[in-house]
Amino acid sequence: MFAQTSGDLKYASKSSAVWMLETVDATGDVGAHTSLALDAQGNPRISYQDFTNLDLRFASKSGAMWTLETPDAPGNLGQYTSLALDAQGNPRISYYDATNLDLKYASKSGAVWTLESIDSNGDVGSFPSLALDAHSNPHISFMDGTNGDLRYASAAIELADPSPAAVWPVGASRSVTWDGTGRVDLSLSVDGGRSWDFLASAVSGGEYRVLVPHAPSKFAQFKLERAVPRSVAETGLFTIETSISLLSFTASPVDNGGAELSWATDPGPADLAGYRLERGDGTQWSTLANLIRARSFTDRVGSPGARYRLFAINGHGEDLLLGETSLRAARPRTCDCRRRSS
């Protein structure tokens, strides 16, 4: 805590009914913008601002001794500090750089502090709140003072697509997308994460195009793994579906002879290799068009009574009979030929 009367950083701890007070740092006007964390042994760690020199400061206690460090100086640094400790007890601090109006992040490994500017787009970084995930990747919420927006920064891999409850057709070409840097390994589960099939390694760029496998499931998931720094992300459950719905399939006569065939399916041609259209003659079927991606076709020799059937072909080359239709004779035109009385 900051003792405003003396300008010192102080620490209070309670054991049973007794409060113990300690002065941690009394060098100048210190102790503003404090953030406290305890290591696995209960030893206190404190980030704060030296208000005299406007530096970021860090205090740690082991046994009866406090150690004081200055991770970042000079400049107007260390406002709104937020402190967290990783699994090894190393400190991680997010804070506001008031000189450059940036969000900054300080991390210590061994005896070395590493400093990073996380966001420098305008006046950003005030009121940060830091949390570390299971792999010690930082996640920071903060204020964009330029636009008055709430902002979020993450060093982890975070999956974007497929979204939970998405439906991906077998054989479709779809993209797995994510936010985050580095090379990742991609795996797929169709049993809700109980087992995983490896798909690709060392993928970068935030997107990977996949041909949806013939593995129908309502419990599909993708997993991304980054080795350095370690990060694992999984999608929510989504569906891989084999069925293709025929929404409509019609055959209409053409004025100068033939048949105009049209159809609609779900999924549509964007998620299929194409369609195959056949015409029936007795018990024999002949192919009129194969792997077409249009949703209509004109059969120039089609005559009344001709039968047609439509297949969808997915990206694996598998075809599915969707339905049949036939061409009916055109209705004769009628006119009102009654003479009008003069």
pLDDT of residue 339: 52
Whether residues 281 and 197 fall in one domain: no
In a domain, 49, yes or no: yes
Distances (CA, A) of 339 to 117, 238, 342: 90, 68, 9
Whether residues 23 and 150 fall in one domain: yes
- Domain end: 154, 181, 213, which one? 154
DSSP secondary structure code for residue 29 in this structure? S
In a domain, 333, yes or no: no
Distances (CA, A) of 214 to 38, 169, 250, 290: 50, 9, 30, 22
Whether residues 237 and 266 fall in one domain: no
Residue 33 tokens, joined: 């913008």
Residue 149 tokens, joined: 């927006």
User: pTM value?
Assistant: 0.76
Whether residues 273 and 146 fall in one domain: no
CATH number, domain of 221, equals 2.60.40.10
Residue 336 tokens, joined: 């009102």
- pLDDT(342) > 50: no
Give percent of the chain above pLDDT 70: 94
- pLDDT(187) > 60: yes
Residue type, 48: Y
CATH number, domain of 135, equals 2.120.10.70
3-state SS, 151-193, equals EEEECCCEEEECCCCCEEECCCEEEEEEECCCCEEEEEECCCC
Which residues form the domain of 41? Answer: 2-154
Query: Counting beta carbons within 10 angstroms of the beta carbon of residue 269, is it exposed (0 to 12), middle (13 to 18) or buried (19 or more)?
Result: middle
Task: Band the pLDDT of 330: cuts 50, 70, 90.
Answer: low
- pLDDT(191) > 80: yes
Whether residues 148 and 7 fall in one domain: yes
What's the chain's average pLDDT?
93
How many separate domains does the chain show? 3
DSSP secondary structure code for residue 137 in this structure? -
Residue 234 tokens, joined: 């999984």
Q: Which of 9, 13, 37 is nearest to 23 (CA)?
A: 9
pLDDT of residue 337: 52
User: What's the CA gap between 212 and 71, in Å, rounded?
Assistant: 49
Whether residues 202 and 190 fall in one domain: yes
Task: Band the pLDDT of 257: cuts 50, 70, 90.
Answer: confident
Residue 15 tokens, joined: 């054991």
User: What's the CA gap between 195 and 185, in Å, rounded?
Assistant: 15
Judged by average pLDDT, the poorest of 50-59, 137-146, 168-177, 327-336 is 327-336
User: What's the CA gap between 5 and 9, in Å, rounded?
Assistant: 11
Q: How large is the average pLDDT for residues 286-298?
A: 95
Q: How large is the average pLDDT for residues 31-54?
A: 96
Whether residues 220 and 114 fall in one domain: no
Q: How large is the average pLDDT for residues 44-70?
A: 96
In a domain, 337, yes or no: no
In a domain, 100, yes or no: yes
Could you give the strand order of the β-sheet that contains 207-211, starting from the edge strand earlier in sequence?
A: 158-161, 173-179, 207-211
Whether residues 46 and 131 fall in one domain: yes
